[in-house]
Amino acid sequence: MRKLPQALIALAMLSLVAAAPSPVKRFDGLNIIAVPGHPFGSETANRSMAQAKRLGAVALAIVPFLWQSTPQSPAISRGSDMPDDELRSAIRETRKLGMAAIVKPNVWVPLSWAGAVEPASEQDWSAWFKAYDEAITHIARIAAEEKAEALIIGTELTKTSRRSEWKGLIGRVRAIYPGLLFYVAHNSEEAEQVAFWPLLDAIGVSLYPPLGFDKDHDGRIREMEMSADRVDALAKRFDKPVIVAEIGLRSAKGAAAKPWESAEERKSAADPVLQAEVLADWLRVLDRPTVQGVLIWRWLSDPSAGGLADTDFTVQGKPAEGVLLCAWTVGCRKR
């Protein structure tokens, strides 16, 4: 594992002090993405996963992508980023390292995102759910055979959440996969409209609310607390734990205003300290009894990814590593 510069660890530690670890089993860790040249099962991918383990991660969310050409297309299929054998390798290596393997399919729509998926007619909706069902149940069989600790049945499919087809899909996945099952809603707004939480084991959510100006720390905390409070209320309403399956932002100036914004959408100078500060704030705000896991977006299968000049979401080689090391290995909070 690369050694973090002492200055970066010191930066993370300045605003944090030791706290007693939670006795509740948690799923704290990272979303890990396969990148070209470093497929799961390779020596480099295994090394990258071991680096995540040494930071204190106890879970990895393994992200196979599903692909569709446009938000309106009824055709959706497994992407080419992670064949079955590589998905199996990722689960096996995660568990071999002593971490929980969470299989987290994401839908990739070029020049758009999963939350825009909305077939144009009832016939197209039926076709889309049939294809999605086939893809998810196939992944569920692999997750079951490899004994993955958790499976996510969908991620941020905002415009599908009120559809009745989810009930049948959840039942079919349950018949295949015996582990922890949940869905990941996009922000508290979608989480509040999901109708099928009673059928699942946990409430999953990604949290990307606008956080204001980079230097507006108090305003940022208020936005985070409002989002977390709304998710808290859902947890109590449905008597389910919460797993925050994504928090993150680019290590770039101006990233707090739109934490979801990608490097392709806006060019900016690097600001790795901002990324570290925001993630530290999120971890403190989400330190509450209803939350049983927080997964950072993101970590790559390339062990040399990231670095101080990088302006994307990746936390590797940045001060954010020091924040996670502190939070996950010592248990740290702000004074």
Alpha-carbon separation of residue 64 from 81, 145, 218 (angstroms): 7, 16, 37
Global pTM value: 0.91
Give per-residue pLDDT as tens, 167-226.
999 999 999 999 999 999 999 999 999 999 999 999 999 999 999 999 999 999 999 999
Q: Would you say 58 and 100 are in contact if contact means Cβ atoms under 8 Å apart? A: yes
Helices 165-176 and 122-145, packing angle to 10 deg: 20
Residue 335: the pLDDT is 38
Give per-residue pLDDT as tens, 166-177.
999 999 999 999
User: In 61-85, which positions are buried (b, 16+ CB within 10 angstroms) versus exposed (e)?
Assistant: bbbbebbbeebbbbebebbebbeee
Q: Is residue 1 part of a domain?
A: no
Could you tell me the sign of the dihedral formed by the alpha carbons of 13, 15, 17, 21, in that order?
negative
59 vs 70: CA distance, rounded Å:
32
Q: Is residue 78 part of a domain?
A: yes
Instruction: Provide block-wise average pLDDT over 10 residues at a time, the chain (335 residues).
Output: 46 36 68 98 98 97 97 94 97 97 97 96 98 98 98 98 96 97 97 97 98 97 98 97 98 98 94 98 97 98 98 98 93 54
Residue 205: the pLDDT is 98
CATH of residue 256's domain is 3.20.20.80
For 103, residues 6+ apart whose C-beta sits below 8 A from its C-beta are: 61, 62, 64, 87, 91, 139, 142, 143, 148, 150, 151, 152
Q: Is 153 helix (H, G, I), strand (E, B) or coil?
A: strand
Residue 331: the pLDDT is 65
92 phi, psi to nearest 5 deg: -65, -45
* DSSP-assigned letter for residue 158: G
Q: Is residue 105 part of a domain?
A: yes
Residue 333: the pLDDT is 54
The total of other beta-carbon atoms located within 10 Å of residue 195's CB is 12
Host domain of residue 273: 6-333
Q: Name the domain count of the chain.
A: 1
Q: Would you say 168 and 137 are in contact if contact means Cβ atoms under 8 Å apart? A: no
